[in-house]
Amino acid sequence: MAKYIMQDNEWAKKSNASNENRIPEWHEQQELILKRWSEIGSSYRYLHDKSFKKFNNQNMWFALPVIVISTITGTANFAQGSFPSEWQEYVPLVIGFFNLSAGLITTVSQFLRVSELLEGHRAASLAYSKFARNLSVELSLPIKERTSDGSIFITNCRVELDRLIEQSPDIPEDIIASFIRRFPEPKTDASGNVANDFFRPEILDIRPIKVYRDIEDERKLVEEESRLKALKDIEEDNKRLEKVVKEREAERFQIIEETRREFEKVQNKQNKEVEKMFVLAQKQTQVELVKKKYSVNNIEETMGDLMGALTRAGNVVDDYSDSDDSSSTPDEIYPNTPNVEIVISDISSNTI
């Protein structure tokens, strides 16, 4: 068990080392998106900070009168006996009026949620400031020193930005108007420099969506499609050529097969003719032997000559089957065969 734990630790160290040595992958478009989000975060920080100051001022105007009135009415309650006798009738009325005014001011402040909005804008200003600063620092670092890949970092920042927009309180219209006056649309000054060139939040204006087009990637994509199309055409041509070759090969095999069958047919016919001639020669030889009463030696010599002639005839037949000339004569087939007169007669009355 300890061995496996040590191996896992070593593998984890190697994995961490390889991750540390790996350079994060970033694209120019990813950096542009993060730049816009950082500028949006800075703009929201400015707006929420101004809103915080506005509601802080309102809170002071609501809180200070209540503090003053409460102090005065509290002191007047303890000092009612020190007032002149002619004021004794009106002092409770005045104290009650001030208490009613303090309560009314407090109720209006609670209804307008001044304290709640004050704290919400303060927290939103700090959160947007942290968000924009994080993006600014990440983009300011070299690529090899950044914390993660561009796609992963964009995903995390998008989630964070959506959360901030959902949880942040609404910005008053007068604050937005003051922001537009403070930061108008980008303009070129006399020296040719562009002023206020940063991306503004979408709450200020409606902007068209710009679709990213990577000309280099599109060119590579077109080249890749052309290359794949050319490969497909070449593959189709090869298939057609292979089909033609197979058809030609099948035709050649068919011709060879037909030629072979024709050759076997001719050869069988010739073999039958030779066999027939051999049988006739045997019969004629028997007849001659009976008529001339050959001796055993003469019979052996005659049969040897006959067998030699038949052997030569078989060789000639083989040569004949390989050649294209089919008009050979019997003299050409048996050039050295002794003249044997074949006489077919009725030997039914003769005895051997």
Q: Whole-number mean pLDDT of the chain?
A: 77
The whole-number average pLDDT for the span 10-38 is 71
pLDDT for the residue 64: 92
pLDDT for the residue 327: 44
- Are 130 and 244 part of one and the same domain? no
State how beta strands 187-188 and 194-195 pair: antiparallel
- Are 256 and 161 part of one and the same domain? no
Residue 351, pLDDT > 50, answer no
> Of 101, 115, 125, 117, nearest to 59 (Cα)?
115
- Are 161 and 302 part of one and the same domain? no
pLDDT for the residue 186: 65
- Of 79-83, 111-115, 203-207, 291-295, the range with the lowest mean pLDDT is 291-295
Q: Which residues of 232-259 are buried (b: 16+ CB within 10 A; e: fewer)?
A: eeeeeeeeeeeeeeeeeeeeeeeeeeee
Secondary structure (DSSP) of 28-66: HHHHHHHHHHHHHHHHHHHHHHHHHHHHHHHHHHHHHHH
Token pair recorded at residue 31? 């950096």
Higher-pLDDT residue of 129, 188: 129
The verdict on residue 348 lying in a domain is no
- Are 82 and 206 part of one and the same domain? yes
Residue 260 sits in which domain range?
228-333
pLDDT for the residue 156: 92
- Are 37 and 149 part of one and the same domain? yes
Share of the chain above pLDDT 90, in %: 19
Q: Contacts from 144-152 at CB under 8 Å and sequence distance 24+?
A: 144/23, 144/24, 146/24, 146/26, 147/24, 148/24, 149/24, 149/25, 149/26, 150/24, 150/25, 150/26, 150/27, 150/30, 150/31, 151/25, 151/30
The verdict on residue 17 lying in a domain is no
- Are 100 and 167 part of one and the same domain? yes
- Of 1-10, 158-167, 267-276, 278-287, the range with the lowest mean pLDDT is 1-10
Residue 346, pLDDT > 50, answer no
pLDDT for the residue 3: 42
The whole-number average pLDDT for the span 298-306 is 66
pLDDT for the residue 94: 84
- Are 31 and 130 part of one and the same domain? yes
Place of tokens 């630790």: 9
> Of 174, 43, 169, nearest to 117 (Cα)?
169
The verdict on residue 64 lying in a domain is yes
CB 35 within 8 A of CB 157: no
Token pair recorded at residue 291? 């008529």
The verdict on residue 284 lying in a domain is yes
Residue 293, pLDDT > 70, answer no
This prediction has a pTM of 0.53
Q: Which residues contact 338 (CB under 8 A, 6 or more apart)?
A: 305, 309
Token pair recorded at residue 19? 């991750």
Q: Per-residue pLDDT tens for 75-134?
A: 877 777 676 777 777 878 888 888 898 899 999 988 988 989 999 999 999 999 999 999
Residue 11, pLDDT > 50, answer no
Residue 352, pLDDT > 90, answer no
Q: Per-residue pLDDT tens for 25-60?
A: 888 888 888 988 988 899 999 999 999 999 999 999
The whole-number average pLDDT for the span 124-151 is 90
Place of tokens 């009135």: 69
- Please state the domain count of the chain: 2
Higher-pLDDT residue of 335, 49: 49
Q: Which residues of 99-136 are buried (b: 16+ CB within 10 A; e: fewer)?
A: beebeebbeebeeeebbebbbbbbbbbebbbebbebbe
pLDDT for the residue 319: 55
pLDDT for the residue 4: 39
- Are 28 and 61 part of one and the same domain? yes
The verdict on residue 77 lying in a domain is yes
The verdict on residue 273 lying in a domain is yes
- Are 69 and 44 part of one and the same domain? yes
pLDDT for the residue 182: 83
The verdict on residue 136 lying in a domain is yes
Higher-pLDDT residue of 293, 14: 293
pLDDT for the residue 56: 93
pLDDT for the residue 93: 84
CB 43 within 8 A of CB 179: yes
CB 54 within 8 A of CB 178: no
Give the C-alpha distances (Å, rounded to integers) separating 51 from 56, 114, 170, 235, 247.
8, 11, 9, 69, 86
Model confidence at 348, pLDDT cuts 50, 70, 90, reads very low
How far apart CA 161 and CA 209 sit, in angstroms, is 18
What number of H helices and E strands is found in the chain? 9, 2
